[in-house]
Structure 1
Amino acid sequence: MTRTSSAPLRSPVAALLAVLLAASGVLLGAGGAQAAGYRYWSFWEGDGKSWAYATQGPSLVRPDDGTVQGFRFAVSEDSADADRPRHAPDFGAICADTPAKGGAKRVALVIDPGTTEDAPAGEKPPALRTACAQVAPDASSAEALASVAKPLRYDSSAMICAISGYPKSGCGEQVSGDGSKKDGSGKPTDDASASASASSAPAADDGDSGGGPSAGLLLGIGAVLLLGVAAVFQARRRR
């Protein structure tokens, strides 16, 4: 019996696999290209040892005497990805030189303008600093901040845009994965703006808006590769 050569068959199969692999690479590249973040001041609450992302905005929170709060300027994708202040939330150390006074409360503040990597183009972040605000008992966190870090700048949704004049412009603008500003409104979503007024940050998404490929994207890649394997199997059965 004459054996049929498999050379003509291998060429189309190899070409098919090459196309499938290329398609998978494009899909993975598209997933990575989605990575982006927001440049903003986030708001934190300290417990003496660690920082926790605030769930309400500084204009709504009315801290007790002895509270430690922090503000950090950085680029991050959402609240789960946000950078913490780079100073311990130590009330005793921050307010050591500010004695208690009747009719007032003390709030320790850590103001961290972040790094040059997160700074807007053409700007240099000032040095991290701490301050002990001594304010009225019913003062909000925003009022405590204003007493030690003017000028402050807000947008129309009460999101903190600048502390002590930094940065000079911009407010929660979206930036691409390489740090450059993206086109568009440059604002977080409505839910994110509420959290930003609350804590100056976009809220974490429930879906697949993170920096890596989404679950749907990975399923699509798997389906493409499965089709390729099936094609090879069918081709071999016909030999």
Structure 2
Amino acid sequence: MRTRLHSAAASVTTAVAAAVAAVVLTPAVAAPAQAAGYRYWSFWESQGGGRWAYATQGPATAVPADGDAIGFRFAVSEDANDAARPSGAPDFAGICAGTERRAGTKRVAVVVDFGGPRDAPPGETPPDPPVETGCAQVRKDATSAEALAAVAKPLRYDSAALLCGIAGYPAKGCGEQVAGTQPSAGQARPSGSTSATAPTAASDGEGGGPSVGIVAGGAAVLVLGGAAIWKARRRT
């Protein structure tokens, strides 16, 4: 009986050890080390304190008032929380200095930030200088898209009316997905932005330790293995 018990326990122990090894050593199905993003023109509006705010509607429907500033930034980002602001300030007084208001029109300061080399599509180089400004003098009911067109032609749109190019940049492509994004050097990220790097299933998010899932999985296997040994002893 002792021999049978020893044999049964040894068999279960071997199986448990193999299962634990499988849990710990088998590569986990990991999430991408860096989340996917998109290369596109983001649209911004001026707010109090000389700051930019991510626009809540597209430039084709937004209607700025006289004295407003609008901005466009070309960059790679995951979403609105991660988008880079235009590096030029929404300085209406400085951009539109000397442009007098005429009857039936409004003045809108426009800032266009072409981004850096790391944001550029393969084979393209951002214009120099990387930031351009202009004072659009347009009719009172003109949209932000019309104000942009007044100072930064040619514009390029896709079939879904997505703004793809400003002043001819980039020459092709439109909002394409880019895997493994990282913020550009010098990018001014909005507060509360999400990290471009997500912890993988083999990491606890702090770097260097096994994930809770792997530890919990190994513990579960050991508990089940212990129960199996106890049952084997009772049967013998």
Q: TM-score, normalised by structure 1?
A: 0.72
Q: Contact 2:32–2:200 (CA<8 Å) still a contact in 1?
A: no
1:201-235 Cα shifts (integer Å, max 9, x gaps): xxxxxxxxx863699xx9xx756643421222344
Give the one of 113, 129, 132 matched to 1:129: 132
1:38 paired to 2:24: no
Structure showing greater radius of gyration is 2
Residue in structure 2 matched with residue 203 of structure 1 by the alignment: none
**Which letter maps to 1:47?**
Q
How far does residue 122 in structure 1 lie from its aligned partner after superposition?
A: 0.9
1:26-71 Cα shifts (integer Å, max 9, x gaps): 22x2x12572111110111111422111111111111110011100
Q: Contact 2:34–2:181 (CA<8 Å) still a contact in 1?
A: no
How far does residue 125 in structure 1 lie from its aligned partner after superposition?
A: 0.8
1:167 paired to 2:170: yes
Q: Which has the higher helix share?
A: 1
**Which letter maps to 2:72?**
F
**Which letter maps to 1:70?**
G
How far does residue 91 in structure 1 lie from its aligned partner after superposition?
A: 1.3
TM-aligned CA distance change 1:144 to 1:234, over 3 Å? closer
Alpha-carbon distance in structure 1 between the residues aligned to 2:62 and 2:181: 34
**Which letter maps to 2:178?**
V
Alpha-carbon distance in structure 1 between the residues aligned to 2:89 and 2:181: 30
Q: Contact 1:37–1:75 (CA<8 Å) still a contact in 2?
A: yes
Q: How does 1:34-183 map to 2 (within 5 A)?
A: 35-48=35-48, 49-126=50-127, 127-177=130-180
Q: Contact 1:36–1:211 (CA<8 Å) still a contact in 2?
A: no
Aligned length: 202
Alpha-carbon distance in structure 1 between the residues aligned to 2:181 and 2:142: 40
TM-aligned CA distance change 1:51 to 1:22, over 3 Å? farther
Cα RMSD of the aligned pairs, angstroms, is 3.2
How far does residue 112 in structure 1 lie from its aligned partner after superposition?
A: 0.4
How far does residue 92 in structure 1 lie from its aligned partner after superposition?
A: 1.3
How far does residue 110 in structure 1 lie from its aligned partner after superposition?
A: 0.9
- Percent of aligned pairs sharing the same letter: 53
Alpha-carbon distance in structure 2 between the residues aligned to 1:90 and 1:230: 61
Instruction: Return 5+ residue gaps in structure 1 as ranges.
Output: 180-209
TM-aligned CA distance change 1:89 to 1:14, over 3 Å? farther
Residue in structure 1 matched with residue 220 of structure 2 by the alignment: 230
**Which letter maps to 1:142?**
A
Alpha-carbon distance in structure 1 between the residues aligned to 2:39 and 2:108: 26
How far does residue 103 in structure 1 lie from its aligned partner after superposition?
A: 2.7
1:148-196 Cα shifts (integer Å, max 9, x gaps): 00000011111111000000000111111168xxxxxxxxxxxxxxxxx
